[in-house]
Amino acid sequence: MNLRRTMLGGALFCAFALLSTTLFALQVPGPLVDTQWLNNHLDQVVILDVRKDVKSFDKKGRQAAAMNPCGVAPRKGPRKVAGHIPGAVLVPWNKVTTKRRIEGKEIKVLLPDKKTFERLMQKSGVDNDSALVITSKGKRVIHTALAARLYWTLKYFGFDNVALLDGGTAQWIKDKRKVEFGKPRRVGRGDFKATTERTDILASMEDVTKLAKKQTPGQLVDVRSLGEYLGLTAAGEVAPKGKGHVSGARNLPVTLLADPRGLATFYDKGRLRQVATLLKVDTEQPTVFMCTSGVMASLAWFTAHEILGNRDTRVYDGSMHEWSHLGKPVVSMKIE
């Protein structure tokens, strides 16, 4: 009898412990976390490290020699970001987006379909009740944009318990925290399933056309450089006849949202609003962000939607890549 009671008590304890773990799973404190918070919760989160340069994840970097700005003599440059945060799972950038043919044209860097994204997250060890922190190399704004794009994709497919590491792995290294090297560790397959598709954060070419023609309320914001906006230059993904911007679009270069020198950490809310106001961008108005191919636009969306709290913001996934290759009209040498 005592043995049966002991066994029953043990079973109840295990069931309660499992239920408690489920009910009280760690919740990230907000869209951004710092290295101190992450260090305190390393064993409670899944860290996804998204990179183009996948080799830097496991190899040690060499000290780079940089030229003195005056060209007099070489000076010691910053150490390259190499290695990864303990326990981090590598997510190669080329797995985060996809390409499709639209009206006979191959359009790249698009939102993947639900099943493809589920497989990527499952392979990365993500469960539906995981607490996620996304990091990147963090040295440049483009690194932060890659992380923001993965964040936006997770949000699109209904996953909310996720944050970005401000400054990425570069900030982690600067703060003298432990870094690991070696091949990505194998992780158990997760049970991640997309719970919805939030079309309210995704804009189509038709949505942008209506904004350009002022057939719908809101603003269109192009976050490329001023030179690209004016049509002086363009990234390779933009069709030759597509230099310039969509009619009516404001210009808010994404490099004004996070520090482009040193570590790509976000500016504070006050500074972000001030910069937007100076460039005639209303941080409270319905907004569609676009860029070359929707990556930098994801960073602008993160800033507006997650940091500044404007819930009526969307990303034009195809951006100028799609717009230009499908022969849509552009405006050049004009600031709107």
pLDDT at 63 over 70: no
Residue 271, strand partner residues: none
Query: 14-28, 138-152, 231-245, 322-336: lowest mean pLDDT where?
Result: 14-28
Question: 236-274, pLDDT tens digit by residue?
Answer: 999 999 999 999 999 999 999 999 887 899 999 999 999
Sheet containing 46-51: which strands, arranged edge to edge?
32-33, 162-165, 132-135, 46-51, 89-92
**Residue ranges of the domains in the chain?**
27-63+77-197, 199-325
The backbone torsions φ and ψ at residue 140, rounded to the nearest 5 degrees and listed phi first, read -130, 160
Residue 283 pLDDT greater than 90, yes or no: yes
Does the structure show a pLDDT above 50 at 29? yes
Look at residue 21 and tell me whether its pLDDT is greater than 90: no
27-63+77-197, what's its fold?
Answer: Oxidized Rhodanese; domain 1 (3.40.250)
In this predicted structure, what is the pLDDT of residue 278?
Answer: 97
pLDDT of residue 13: 41
Radius of gyration of the chain (CA): 22
Q: Is the dihedral of CA 18, 47, 184, 182 positive or negative?
A: negative
The token pair that represents 160 in the structure block: 């909310």
Name the least confident of 78-82, 122-126, 184-188, 296-300. 78-82
At residue 24, the pLDDT reads: 57
pLDDT at res. 7:
43
- 214-228: pLDDT as tens digits: 999 999 999 999 999
Strands 219-222, 250-251: pairing kind: parallel
pLDDT per residue as tens digits for the range 171-197: 999 999 999 998 877 889 999 999 999
pLDDT of residue 61: 56
Q: Is CATH 3.40.250.10 the right assignment for the domain spanning 199-325?
A: yes
- Per-residue pLDDT, averaged over 105-111, amounts to 97
> C-alpha 100: how far from its chain's center?
21
The CA-CA-CA angle for residues 283, 286, 291, to 5°, reads: 80
The tokens for 14 are: 């295990």
Residue 136: per-residue pLDDT = 97
Amino acid present at 150:
L
CB 148 within 8 A of CB 313: no
In sequence order, the 6+-apart residues with CB closer than 8 A to the CB of 2 are: none
Is residue 77 scored above 60 in pLDDT?
Answer: no
Domains 27-63+77-197 and 199-325 agree in fold: yes
**Is 70's pLDDT higher than 60?**
no
Q: What is the mean pLDDT of the chain?
A: 90
Single-letter residue type at 219: Q
| Res. 67: pLDDT tops 60 | no
| DSSP symbol at 42 | G
Q: Decide: 132 and 91 in contact? Cβ < 8 Å.
A: no
Secondary element (H or E) of residue 296: helix 295-301
* Amino acid 185: pLDDT: 76
Q: What is the pLDDT of residue 83?
A: 94
pLDDT at 5: 46
Contacts of 142 (CB under 8 A, 6+ apart): 295, 296
Of the CA atoms within 13 Å of residue 175, those in its CB half-sphere come to: 18
Torsion of CA 130, 310, 314, 304, to 10 degrees: -80
